[in-house]
């Protein structure tokens, strides 16, 4: 076994690397700069923690998440890694101890905030500690194109000047090329090893439901899933508070979170959630970056999000432990109207255009009869051809209506005009418009002219959007976006295949059939044992004053309940158990299993 694999098992308790981890670690150990874009939960932290353990000297981790640093450090220490953090919350005593440990080369991993690095002369001070590697977490904060731009991060451009031979690795969960280019340029990475991981989160089930009485819809979902921690996102602070109040009145342990609260209130509510002391947190998008809680089982959006990037980030907070989790979006056409109202007030025309585009892609996502996962991945330029089998569309849970005949009308109009015209012109033909353009081309004499008079423009627009979404036709971007028919479209046109549309594309009134409950992932396991293991974890967490997942993740406890280890050697086989945790917790947890 090579040394990285050994560390993976002995420190982290895992037997195999996830995709890309080994390559990233290898590149860092060879002294190369690295850029990594990987979805939330992909396993980025291990990619800098393992080099931190293996390399002689100090590994510096720059992270904007001050509120999270203590947890990150506790978590690393729980595995036997010598980790510390430096930020504005540190007491003088701790600070004194940490610097003395740094001078004595006793620290492997140092988490530090960008503000601290930006202090006058701080980089020179850092140079005294034999820095062997620098990791920049949440690196998209450097880019104005990202959604969390932080001016403090720009100071990180100086890292390469001060540490020209030290490898720097940037990590982000943002997928866009622009952000990637920005990060590489601003951090001055030299010939970086670039990893763009797949953004597919297989464990997430996406569904869109019709929004009617959203408060009771949300409450009902939570009542049906009483033990599962989850996040509820609402757009406005007012709705956040209203929703949290409503849930509390229904007896659900909920707190709210938005930028209008004081720092103290925010931290307190976040900690309650982290420590499993409340079930749900209702929040604006201010909540979230870097949430480390790994057992979030659902993320609900009570309103249409503003962009696919945001939606993807927010839903990505579910299922970080790799267990099945649900992402539910409540959609109503009324949300489009509301958002358009705000978009129309934006003064900068480019910004306004950008927001409209973003909104449009979300509307498509919510309404088209196309696999949700495919839509998300293609939005991030990742081709995805099959149906995922893990979303409402692929599981036939949406209300569909047949639109074969209407699709054939459109396809026929496209064909009879030699596949040379764009959307508006085709709709004009279908609706029998009497325009100069149509007459001059003699298109008022073709059979399909006026064949769709009975339905309005909006309807035909919807059919065309669905046809494009389902790849029956496409817009040729090199030729003024004229519509062309694909082989799949020909199958519809010639009656070899039927065409279904989502009812919500047109009316927004999906009678969402109640989805069969997800197969409870604990079925077959000994639930009593699992509960005992969880209780023990809570007890230890309280004693140590750390969040429970730092002791063991839910996934680890499930694995333990399944494997039922009765010796320390067997205990080490449980996923997520390394040597330190074996020694520390084996003797506590094994008796629960043997005395079952
Ligand atoms: P990210 O920082 O990319 O969002 P994390 O580093 O927090 O993700 O990892 C997410 C979860 O996956 C953590 O619970 C982590 O322990 C687990 N994990 C990481 N690498 C592996 C692996 N090779 N095998 C099993 N679990 C892993
Ligand atoms: Zn799907």
- The response to whether residue 40 sits with its C-beta less than 6 Å from ligand 1 reads yes
- Closest by CA to 389, choosing from 372, 402, 368, is 372
- The response to whether residue 41 sits with its C-beta less than 6 Å from ligand 1 reads yes
pLDDT of residue 341: 80
Ligand 1 center–CA 240 separation, angstroms:
30
Say what angle helices 263-274 and 66-78 make with each other, to 10 degrees. Answer: 30
CA distance 572 to 384: 38
Assess if residue 474 is contained within a domain.
yes
| 177 and 228 belong to one structural domain | no
| 52 and 164 belong to one structural domain | yes
| 288 and 326 belong to one structural domain | yes
142 by DSSP, 3-state: which? Answer: helix
User: Which residue's alpha carbon is nearest to atom 10 within ligand 1?
Assistant: 41
Q: Tens digits of per-residue pLDDT, 177-205?
A: 888 899 999 999 999 999 998 889 999 99
| 103 and 239 belong to one structural domain | no
- The response to whether residue 553 sits with its C-beta less than 6 Å from ligand 1 reads yes
Residue range(s) defining the domain that contains residue 490: 400-509
Assess if residue 518 is contained within a domain.
no
Assess if residue 302 is contained within a domain.
yes
| 249 and 317 belong to one structural domain | yes
* Ligand found nearest the CA of 5: 1
What angle (nearest 5°) sits at the alpha carbon of residue 103, between those of residues 100 and 109? 90
Signed CA dihedral, 339, 340, 341, 343: sign only: positive
| 544 and 480 belong to one structural domain | no
* Ligand found nearest the CA of 392: 2
Q: How many residues does the chain have?
A: 596
What angle (nearest 5°) sits at the alpha carbon of residue 410, between those of residues 474 and 432? 130
Assess if residue 517 is contained within a domain.
no
Residue 563, CA atoms < 13 Å, CB-side half-sphere = 21
- E-assigned strand segments in 49-117: 58-62, 83-86, 109-112
CA distance 588 to 593: 10
Q: At 168, list the tokens.
A: 């720097």
Q: Which parts of the chain register pLDDT below 50?
A: 507-524
Assess if residue 390 is contained within a domain.
no
Q: At 60, list the tokens.
A: 């510096």
Assess if residue 222 is contained within a domain.
yes
Ligand 1 center–CA 349 separation, angstroms:
41
Ligand 1 center–CA 465 separation, angstroms:
38
| 30 and 174 belong to one structural domain | yes
pLDDT of residue 1: 64
- Closest by CA to 557, choosing from 580, 543, 538, is 538
Ligand 1 center–CA 343 separation, angstroms:
38
Continuous segment of H or E residues that includes residue 406: helix 404-416
| 186 and 319 belong to one structural domain | no
435-450 b/e (C-beta count within 10 Å ≥ 16 → b)? eeebeebebeebebbe
- Closest by CA to 87, choosing from 121, 56, 122, 55, is 122
CA distance 515 to 546: 36
User: Which residue's alpha carbon is nearest to atom 14 within ligand 1?
Assistant: 321
Burial class (CB in 10 A: 0-12, 13-18, 19+), 164: exposed
Ligand 1 center–CA 211 separation, angstroms:
34
The CATH number linked to 327 is: 3.40.50.300
The CATH number linked to 452 is: 1.10.10.10
Q: At 234, list the tokens.
A: 């609402």
Q: How many CB atoms lie within 10 A of CB 209?
A: 23
* Ligand found nearest the CA of 391: 2
pLDDT of residue 457: 83
- The response to whether residue 582 sits with its C-beta less than 6 Å from ligand 1 reads no
Ligand 1 center–CA 41 separation, angstroms:
6
Assess if residue 307 is contained within a domain.
yes
pLDDT of residue 507: 46
Domain stop point among 176, 196, 216: 196
The CATH number linked to 573 is: 1.10.150.80
Into how many domains does the chain fold?
4
State if pTM tops 0.85: no
User: Which residue's alpha carbon is nearest to atom 5 within ligand 1?
Assistant: 43
| 302 and 353 belong to one structural domain | yes
| 455 and 558 belong to one structural domain | no
pLDDT of residue 508: 35
Mutate to test the pocket of ligand 1, among 14, 23, 43 (most ligand atoms within 8 A of CB): 43
pLDDT of residue 146: 63
* Ligand found nearest the CA of 371: 2
pLDDT of residue 521: 36
* Ligand found nearest the CA of 319: 1
Ligand 1 center–CA 555 separation, angstroms:
11
The phi and psi torsions of 307 (rounded to 5 degrees) equal -155, 160
Assess if residue 181 is contained within a domain.
yes
Bridge partner residues of 133 (DSSP): 59
Q: Tens digits of per-residue pLDDT, 467-518?
A: 988 889 999 988 888 999 999 999 999 999 999 988 766 543 322 222 222 2
| 446 and 316 belong to one structural domain | no
The phi and psi torsions of 210 (rounded to 5 degrees) equal -70, 130
| 493 and 533 belong to one structural domain | no
Ligand 1 center–CA 42 separation, angstroms:
6
């Amino acid at each position: 076994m090579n040394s990285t694999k050994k560390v993976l098992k002995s420190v982290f308790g895992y037997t195999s690397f996830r995709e890309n981890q080994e390559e990233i670690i290898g590149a860092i150990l060879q002294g190369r700069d690295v850029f990594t874009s990987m979805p939330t939960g992909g396993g980025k932290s291990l990619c800098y923690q393992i080099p931190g353990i293996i390399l002689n000297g100090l590994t510096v981790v720059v992270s904007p998440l001050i509120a999270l640093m203590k947890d990150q450090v506790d978590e690393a220490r729980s595995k036997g890694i010598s980790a510390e953090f430096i930020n504005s919350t540190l007491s003088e005593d701790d600070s004194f101890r940490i610097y003395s440990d740094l001078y004595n080369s006793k620290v492997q991993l140092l988490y530090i905030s960008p503000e601290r690095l930006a202090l006058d002369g701080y980089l020179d001070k850092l140079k005294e500690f034999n820095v062997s590697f620098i990791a920049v977490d949440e690196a998209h904060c450097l880019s104005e194109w990202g959604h969390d731009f932080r001016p403090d991060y720009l100071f990180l451009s100086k890292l390469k000047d001060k540490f020209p031979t030290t490898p720097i690795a940037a990590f982000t969960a943002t997928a866009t090329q622009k952000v990637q280019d920005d990060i590489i340029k601003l951090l001055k990475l030299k010939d970086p090893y670039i990893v763009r991981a797949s953004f597919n989160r297989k464990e997430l089930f996406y569904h869109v439901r019709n929004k009617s009485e959203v408060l009771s819809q949300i409450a009902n979902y939570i009542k049906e899933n009483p033990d599962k921690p989850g996040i509820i996102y609402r757009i406005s602070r007012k709705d956040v508070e209203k929703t949290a109040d409503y849930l509390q009145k229904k007896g659900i342990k909920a707190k709210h979170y938005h930028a209008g609260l004081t720092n103290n209130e925010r931290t307190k509510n976040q900690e309650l959630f982290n420590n499993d002391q409340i079930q749900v947190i209702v929040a604006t998008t201010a909540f979230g970056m870097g949430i480390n809680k790994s057992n979030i089982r659902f993320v609900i959006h009570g309103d249409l999000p503003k962009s696919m990037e945001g939606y993807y980030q927010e839903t990505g907070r579910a299922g970080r432990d790799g267990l099945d989790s649900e992402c539910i979006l409540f959609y109503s056409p009324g949300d489009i109207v509301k958002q358009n109202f705000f978009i129309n007030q934006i003064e900068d025309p480019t910004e306004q255009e950008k927001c409209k585009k973003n909104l449009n892609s979300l509307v498509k996502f919510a309404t088209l009869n196309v696999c949700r996962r495919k839509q998300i991945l293609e939005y991030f330029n990742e081709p995805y051809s099959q149906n995922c089998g893990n979303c409402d569309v692929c599981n036939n849970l949406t209300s569909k209506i047949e639109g074969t005949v209407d699709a054939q009308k459109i396809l026929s109009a496209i064909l009879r005009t030699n596949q040379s015209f764009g959307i508006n012109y085709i709709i004009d033909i279908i609706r029998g418009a009497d325009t100069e353009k149509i007459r001059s081309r003699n298109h008022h004499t073709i059979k399909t002219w006026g064949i769709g008079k009975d339905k309005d423009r909006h309807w035909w627009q919807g059919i065309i959007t669905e046809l494009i979404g389902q790849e029956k036709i496409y817009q040729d971007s090199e030729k003024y976006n004229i519509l062309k028919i694909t082989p799949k479209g020909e199958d519809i046109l010639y009656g070899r295949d039927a065409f279904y549309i989502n009812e919500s594309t047109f009316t927004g009134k999906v009678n969402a059939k109640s989805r069969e409950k997800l197969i409870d992932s604990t079925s077959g396991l000994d639930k009593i044992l699992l509960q005992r293991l969880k209780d023990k974890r809570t007890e230890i967490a309280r004693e140590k004053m750390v969040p429970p997942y730092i002791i063991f993740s839910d996934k680890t406890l499930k694995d333990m309940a399944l494997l039922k280890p009765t010796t320390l050697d067997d205990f080490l086989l449980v996923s997520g158990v390394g040597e330190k945790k074996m020694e520390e917790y084996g003797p506590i947890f094994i008796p629960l299993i043997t005395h079952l």
